[in-house]
Every structure is written in C-alpha cells, then in structure tokens.
Chain A
Amino acid sequence: MKSLSIRRRRNLGILLLLSIVVIVIDRLLSVSLYPVAFVSGWLLFSLVALLAAYNIRKKLPFLPLGSSSTWLQFHIYGGLLSGVVFVVHIAGRVPNGGFEVVLSALFLGVFFSGVIGLLLSRWIPPRLTTRARDSQEVLFERIPIFVRRIRDEVEAMVLECGSQAESTVVPAFYASRLKSFFERPRNFWSHVLHLQRPRLKLLREIQSQEGYLSEVEKSVMGDMVERVKQKDDLDYQYALQALLKYWLFVHIPLTSGLLVFVVFHLVLVYSFAGGIR
C-alpha cells in the first residue's frame, strides 16, 4: 500500500507539473501571438490518440509495448491531463458552434466516463473485498451458474420440506416471496448504493414466519436464510462487477465517435484556419 501511495503521489505530482507547464506555455505562446489553439489542439489529439491506443495495446499483448500496468497508469493520468489541455484548447470558453458543441460533448463524455470508471475501479474492489470476507468472491461470468445452483438447492429443500412437514407454509412462502428473488440477480441499485434494506427486509419476513413453522420447517427455513444471504451476496457481486464492466460501454464507443469527429475537426481547421498555423 505504501508503494501504491507513493506512486500515486508521484504521478499526481507529475500531472500537476505538466498541467502547469501546459498552461504556462499556452500563455507564453499567446503572448507571442502564436496560434495557441493549434499547439494545444495537436497536444490534445496526441493525448487522445495515445489514450485510445491503450485498447489496442490490450489486444496486442505479444508485442513489447510496455506493461499493461504502465499503460493503465498513463491512461489514467494522461486522461486527466487531457482534461486540462481541453480547457486550455477551448480557452475556457463554452463552445457555441453546432459541430464544436457535439465535439466538446463527446470529449467531455469520454473524459467524465473515464473519470467515473477510474472512481469505480478505485471504489468497488475494496467493497467487494470487504463483502467477500463474509462470503466469497466469484467470477462475474459464473454468477448465473451459482444463482442457478442456489435456486436448485432451495427448490429441492422446499420440495423436501413440503413432503416431510405436511405443511404448505414453507412452499407457499417460497412461491409467493422467494421464488422471484432466486430467479435472477435482484436489487441492483440497492447494492450499488450499498443499501442493505432489501436484504434485511426479506430476512425479517422470513423471521416473521417462524411462529407458524414446525421444528422441521424451522430447520429448513434456517438453511433457506443462509441461501438467501448467499444469493444476496452474489447479487452484490453481480451489481458491482457489472458496473465495472458496463461503464466501458459508454467510454469506448464514445471514444470511437470522438476520434472520428476529431479527425474531421482537424480537416476543418486546416481548411478554414486562415493561415494561423
């Protein structure tokens, strides 16, 4: 953790330094009547292209292009630096041309989705680890299998209970209240927001049934409570891991659209710039 903290401080320091350098050079170029938008524009384009190249790097692991960790660090801090360069590039103005508004919106979409992804990647793993102390970590792709397995186990218990206890309290409660819970991942946003209210509510409902249960049924219901907790933990894993995967559904497609618009922007700038380059 100490090395991680040192690295983060170092990288943040470099980011801060580069940001200051960019702003100062922009100011100095402006004093020299240099077309600063061209300089900051090319810097921004280079950054965006390098950041986008991270996705390509992941697809070419056999090439000696540096470790993925290094690329990720560059992606994170380079992305943050691109935000600074973007503000410098637009000179702090709010774009008011139609195309420029779309271009800026695309960039901001990519930037902030990246920032959100960064925050998620920093925020979710510790939560998953914390929760996994009481349960276990699972692979995202296998969660449906485990959900099915739990559901099968619970249904088997309910059937057995129904035949042994000569009572329909447990099967009826399962059919009315628990069946939908075990069918698929539930309470997505509650898990994302770290709310345990649905879980506790369900457990309270189960507990409220105890007065009507025989000893056998109580035993079955006790096992069922454990399965409910296990399923809820799986739902928690699913919700958070899904977040870690689905933010890229915004970040990467927006990046591709951004690159297309950026190239067109370059063509336009060099066609209409009036010689300020």
Chain B
Amino acid sequence: MNDPLQSFEHKDSSYERPDRPWVCGHLSDGQPCPVGPDVRGQCQAHHVCVPAPQGDGHQCVRPAAWGGRCEAGPLADGSCSEQVPPCSPVRSLLARRKRLTILSTALALGCLAFLFGGGLSQGEPGTSQPTWAGRLLSPGKLTEAHRSFRHDCGTCHTAGNDGIIEWSSSALSGHAGAQESRRCLKCHDDFEDKYALYPHNLSPGRLQAITKRLQDTGRETAGLIELDLARLVANVPVGHEGALVCSTCHREHRGRQADLTHMTNLQCQRCHTSSFHSFSDGHPELVDYPAPARSGSSFDHNSHYGQHFVEFTRTMPDGVKPESCLSCHQDDRSGGFSVLKPFAESCGSCHSGQIQSDALPGIAFLNLPVLDLDSENGRKLSQAIGKWPVTGRLLGPDTSLSPFMMVLLSADAGIARTYRSIQDNRINLRDLGGVSAETLLEVERLVLAIRKLWEDVAEGGESVLRARLLAVLGEDVSGSDLADLTVGWSRRTIQDSIGRWLIEEPEPDPKPQDSPRPNEASAAAAAPAERLESGQQPTDRPTEQGSKRGWYADDSDSSIRYRPTEHADRFLRAWMEVAVRLQLRESGRVSDDGDGRRALQWILLELSGPFQVRSGRCMKCHTVGQTEGPASRIVWSPFSSSGSGSRFVKFSHRPHLTLKMTCHSCHPIRRPSESDLSLVGRETAMARVVSDIAGNPFGVLSSGLRSMQREQCATCHTRQRVGDSCLKCHNYHIDRISKPGLPHPRL
C-alpha cells in the first residue's frame, strides 16, 4: 500500500474552506499557494513570504503551515528567494453555483418581463391572432363552445385587458369572483338576472321552501361516509346569500373536448339534505312520472280507447280514429319529447264541432226576459217600459237573465239588490197578475235597467262594457283583461236588435223631425242610423249572420248571442280566465261578496257544463290547474317542451327509442278502477272546476296511463351499463328564460 496522500494532522493539513468564492489559479496544476486569493479574487501569493527586516538584512518568517522557513532565506534585496508566482484566481465551485443560480433567477425574471410585461391586450384591434403572451399564458385550450374567445382573454377575465402591474395589484387586493361570473352571464343570459348566481337559479326563499318541503317528507337518508367527511372538512364556497360563482362548477381551459358540466353524484348530493348511494339504491321513487296523476286536460286514454273510439261512428261521425300514438303525438323540435299535435290534427276532428257548430246555439250574452204583458199588471208595466218583445222562450226559468248581463247590471248596486229580491221572492216575470204594486215596481225598475243597459251598450259600445265591468270587478282586472272581455263586440248587432225589439215602429209622418221620441232608447237606436246615413262608418265588427259565428241576434228569445269563431276563442277564454281567477280562487269557496261576482259563477256554469247543448264548452276538456300563487289558472295548453330545460327533471325520447321499446313499454294504459268508473260519468265540469280550485290534484282527471316506476329506469341506468349520473336525468339550472329562435347554451 502506498503512503497516505494526505495527512489530517493539524500541522500538515490546512483547513479547507470551500465556501470561499475564489480559489488559487494554480490549483488545477496541483500547486496552489497556501494563502489563496482574497474575497475579491485578488491573488495573494506575494503574502506567502514577506521577509522581515533583521539588522542589515532580512529574515524568512514564512509560517510553518505554509512551508516554514526556507533554507536559502531572503535575497539581498529583501525579497523571498522562493517567491510563488502570481496566478489568476478562479471561482470556487460554490461561487460558480451561486452565479448560475443568480443567472437562472435573472433569466426567469427577464423571460417573464419580456413575454408578459405588455399584458395580454391585442396590439391591433380586431386582430384575429392572439398575442404570444396570451398563447403562452393560457392554462389550456378552451372548450369548443368557447373557442371563439381564445384570442381575447378580456372577454371572460377582468385581468385579460391588464398588464403585469395590474395583475400584481389585483392579486394583492383581491377582487370579487361574482364580477367574473357576470361576464359569463353576458352570453348566458337565459337566467333571471337577480338569481342567476344562486343555486338552481332559485331565489333563496324559494329554495328554502323547496328544501323544507322535501325535509318534511321525512325520507331516510343513506349514510355516505365520504359525504359526511366532506361536510366536516369544508363547506361549499358560497358568497352573499348563498350565491355561487360559475367557476365553482364549471372549470375551463381543460381542453377542447372537456365537459364543463361534469359533476359527480357526490358533488350533487353535497348540498342536498338527504343522500343515497345510487339511482338503483336509495334514489327516491318516481312520483307521477312522466305526468302527474291528475292530468292537465280532461283526456283519459283509457276511456277514449276503451269506449269513445269504439262508439266512434255514432257519436263522432266526422271524427278520425287514431291509428297509433303518433296519430295525436309527435316529436318536438329537439326530438327529446313527444308532444301533442295541434288541436286541428289531434282532437279537432271530434271536438271542433262541439265548439263552433252552427247547429248549436251560441252563448247568450244579453237577453230580454219574457214578461207578462197581458195581465193588468203587465199592461201597467208595458206602459212604463215601452215596447218589449212578446216573442221569447216559452220554457225555462222566466226570471233567467244572461249571466253576462247580470254581471253588467251589477254595476248598479240598487239594481242588483232589486234583482236579488225578485229572485228571493220567486217572482215569475211571465205571470205578474198576482204581484203586489211594490213588486211590480221592482220588476219595472229591473226591466228599465235592462233597457238602459242595452241602450247604453248600443250607444257607447265597448267603452260602456268596459266601464261597467270595471265597476263590478274593480282593480282585479287589468286593462288587457277588459280588452279581451269585450273583444270583437258588435255594436251594430245590438243597435239593429234594439230597433227591432225595443223601439215602436214610427207612424208614417210627413214631419218625422217633429215626432217625439218615445224614450232615450229611440234616440240611441236612431244614432247609428243617422251615422250611417251621414256616411260615417261603424267602428264595430259586422255581425257574422251568414256564418252564424261570432255575434248574432236571436229573435226566438230576444238575445244577443256569441258563437265561438274557432278553438281557443279569445272572448270566451278571457271570460273563463277572469271568472276562475276572481270568483273561485279561495279554495273553491263560492263567493257571495257581490252580486256581480256571484254572477261570474253562473258564467262558469254557463261555459262549463259539458252536457249543455251549447257551443263553446271550454271546460269539457280544459281544467283548472294549481299555481304557486293564490290564483288558479286554466290549463289551456298541453305539455310543451319549450320550457323543459327549466325543470329539474329532463328526459329525451331519442336515445330511448333506439332500444327495442314501444310507447306502451313505458306508458301502458292503466286499467280503470271501480272508483274511476263511478266518477267519470257523474262528474260535471262545474263540480270539477270547483274541485280543481279547491286543490284536489288527484280528482278523476287521470290520463289513463300508468306512471313509470324507478325500477323500470334502473334496469339500464346503473353505473356499469349506461350510467347513473344525476345529470343524466336532472337539470341543475332551472327557470330559464326562453329565447325564441335561440337554442339554450349548453350548461
């Protein structure tokens, strides 16, 4: 073995100091000087030996660690005889590493300043290419839907138009996330702005109410450990009043094909009070799905298929019997829903005749009751009221006034009381022989009021009608309601009728201008004639006598009648809506607050009786549905898929119909129960209306289709088969505002 190369004896081994920034330039040759350079990198070789003056000469004083005294000693001039040649010191390893570190830091800072010092703003407005900075800074590609924004960070980010200084300031001061979300809502503006950032786009109060309703069901919740732990670890990050920023759920810059709407089932259940393992394990049972047990329209598949279509040729000779479900139903534009075809293509062949048949009498709007003008009292009455038609209905209640006219008469409270008194005393207007003078006076007052109403309406037209309706209905009807309630009113019809029924035929008189008018009605009757003679055009719609639709006068009972012009007639619809909304809105309680409002009940009766031989009969098919507000409303339209994106549950037929399934696979017709059969025939539309408004959601208005069961869906909707993600069947964002012609942005 060789001798040891190095000795660690303190006398033989100098202390190595690798932290020094410089080392001797001779080290690479293996002959470093013992001193080494100073901290500034200056060679200190001349300090190795500095002979000390001694007497006349010099003495070597080199330290022992550096080699000790040399044998030769200093030269005569006092310089060292073994001088170490000077070197060019080199940096130590540590110093070189430090320089490299500083260089690396400077390089990083320089790169960032160079690339991003100018911010991300576009150099030239309208430039189609993004800046290099924008490209580099983007944390990833945008999804296909947002691809057009890839050139301008400022579209979505407030900081996108800023520079590095503003970013630093923004990072330190912070900024509201909601402001960034507002930028999202500039395009995704199909939410009500006020609640756009709230969970499910619901107001806090509504969400709370729904939550409470679900909690009150007392449904058991599955103990999911992960969910319980998640609740312990953190709350869902919400802002003021529970508002959420868009980026809570939607994370961009994750690639073209990234799914911005992806959510796990646990994430969905994080906010919900009850939880379950999966759709097939613990998910609440489907209730009245896809349609509620109580149908929106009075259409029962069961009775139609089992009874009506069987007796088709007898009851509906013009009807077209459906061949399949698709005879009446069709896919909507999205293909996701099966919706009812328009009325003319579905129900029209059977039911349009019941609405506008010329063979059925129209609805009496104004009528002149039959009066006893032959008895002594009748003659007295005749003298007081002037001409009154003697023709009229021979059957039926002689005191019957049109409910519409009763509403109009109720504008005068005194007349209303008079009429009520006549009714209460069971006075027969066709037999006034035995009535007292006081009663006769009441009858006279009523008849004159009717006459005045006719004259006023003939003179003032729609404005008089609206004024009277306003007096009766007060502030409960809007201007648009009033317009609909008198839409298409034909003043000419009543003017002609007054001329025939209430005005004495004038005696041939060479001086007609001098003949006294029997009463004001004659003046009213003459007014339109004068206008016509003067060439003034009537403003009212002409009576459709020829077609027997719209307004017409019926000489058989001296009435002004209305026959609907078509399905969804605006006039009848308006009266029905107002009647339902105002008259029976409080849990079906029959109101007796006023005679006018009580008369609205009779209007309902007039229009709702399914077995009355009269055109119209809206409520034969339409029903009164419950709304969240205090008022009820008539369900005029069948299910529409246009608002389907606004519901919690979503469904599309399209992927399901690729399977070997028919309509009946999921929607089998339910066999009627005994109770159904017993109720169907007996129910009147009026009773149903009252029942509906009273909040009886289960009535007898069954669609006749069996509701779906969760197990039916769960056979395929498992994690292993087609997936059981919550978002497969549920929308998060509801209450969307529909924009005609524009598809919903997919969220």
Residues of A bordering B, CB below 8 Å: 25, 27-35, 93, 95-100, 134-136, 138-139, 141-142, 144-151, 226-227, 230, 234, 245, 248-249, 252-254, 256-257, 259-261, 264, 266-277
B247 adjacent to A29 (CB under 8 Å): no
What 9 A-B pairs are tightest by C-beta distance, nearest first?
A: A275-B177, A148-B30, A98-B136, A270-B171, A253-B104, A260-B108, A274-B180, A31-B230, A271-B159
Among B46-54, B233-241, B379-387, B738-746, the one that faces the other chain is: B233-241
B254 adjacent to A99 (CB under 8 Å): no
A-B contact pairs, 7 of them (CB 8 A): A31-B227, A33-B236, A98-B138, A99-B139, A257-B105, A261-B108, A270-B171
14 additional contacts (CB under 8 A) given A34-B234, A274-B246: A27-B226, A29-B233, A31-B230, A31-B266, A31-B267, A33-B270, A35-B248, A95-B139, A97-B137, A141-B18, A149-B30, A253-B97, A266-B171, A274-B156
Nearest A residue to B132 via CB reads A98
Q: Cβ of B657 < 8 Å from any Cβ of A?
A: no
Interface SS of chain B: helix
B137 adjacent to A99 (CB under 8 Å): yes
Interface SS of chain A: helix
Contacts of B2 in A (CB 8 A): 135, 226-227, 230
Instruction: Tell me the residues in window 70-111 of chain B with beta carbons closer than 8 Å to chain A beta carbons.
Output: 93, 96-97, 100-105, 107-109
Please measure, in the bound complex, the distance between the C-alpha atom of A268 and the C-alpha atom of B253, giving whole angstroms. 14
Q: Cβ of B249 < 8 Å from any Cβ of A?
A: yes
Task: Tell me the number of A-to-B contacts counted with CB atoms below 8 Å.
Answer: 181
Chain B 129-167 interface 0/1 with A at a Cβ cutoff of 8 Å (1 = within) = 000000111111100000000000100110110101011
Contacts of B141 in A (CB 8 A): 96
- The interface size of chain B toward A, counting residues with CB under 8 Å, comes to 78
Nearest B residue to A147 via CB reads B30
Q: Cβ of B112 < 8 Å from any Cβ of A?
A: yes
Contacts of A27 in B (CB 8 A): 226
B236 adjacent to A28 (CB under 8 Å): no
B157 adjacent to A274 (CB under 8 Å): yes
Contacts of B170 in A (CB 8 A): 270-271
Which one of B32, B100, B112, B174 lies within 8 Å of A270 (CB-CB)?
A: B174
A100 adjacent to B139 (CB under 8 Å): yes
A253 adjacent to B101 (CB under 8 Å): yes
A96 adjacent to B140 (CB under 8 Å): yes
Nearest A residue to B239 via CB reads A275
Please measure, in the bound complex, the distance between the C-alpha atom of A245 and the C-alpha atom of B741, giving whole angstroms. 70
Instruction: Tell me the residues in window 23-37 of chain B with beta carbons closer than 8 Å to chain A beta carbons.
Output: 23, 27-32
Residues of B bordering A, CB below 8 Å: 1-2, 4-6, 16, 18, 23, 27-32, 93, 96-97, 100-105, 107-109, 112, 116, 135-141, 153, 156-157, 159-160, 162, 164, 166-168, 170-171, 174-181, 226-227, 229-231, 233-237, 245-249, 251, 253-255, 264, 266-267, 270
Which one of A32, A97, A139, A147 lies within 8 Å of B234 (CB-CB)?
A: A32
A35 adjacent to B237 (CB under 8 Å): yes
Please measure, in the bound complex, the distance between the C-alpha atom of A148 and the C-alpha atom of B251, giving whole angstroms. 65
B248 adjacent to A271 (CB under 8 Å): no
CB proximity of B334 to chain A, nearest CB, Å: 29
Which one of B108, B156, B226, B266 lies within 8 Å of A256 (CB-CB)?
A: B108
Contacts of B255 in A (CB 8 A): 96
Contacts of B162 in A (CB 8 A): 271
Contacts of B254 in A (CB 8 A): 93
Known contacts A31-B226, A275-B177: A146-B105 contact under CB 8 Å = no
CB proximity of B94 to chain A, nearest CB, Å: 9
Known contacts A100-B139, A148-B30, A275-B177: A136-B5 contact under CB 8 Å = yes
A273 adjacent to B167 (CB under 8 Å): no
Identify which of B27, B96, B181, B234 gathers the most chain A CB atoms within 10 Å of its CB. B234
Contacts of A142 in B (CB 8 A): 5-6, 16
Known contacts A34-B237, A138-B5: A249-B140 contact under CB 8 Å = no
Nearest A residue to B18 via CB reads A141
CB proximity of A49 to chain B, nearest CB, Å: 15
Please measure, in the bound complex, the distance between the C-alpha atom of A253 and the C-alpha atom of B105, giving whole angstroms. 7
Identify which of B101, B116, B141, B266 gathers the most chain A CB atoms within 10 Å of its CB. B101
Please measure, in the bound complex, the distance between the C-alpha atom of A277 and the C-alpha atom of B176, giving whole angstroms. 10
Please measure, in the bound complex, the distance between the C-alpha atom of A234 and the C-alpha atom of B2, giving whole angstroms. 13
CB proximity of B485 to chain A, nearest CB, Å: 51
B139 adjacent to A28 (CB under 8 Å): no
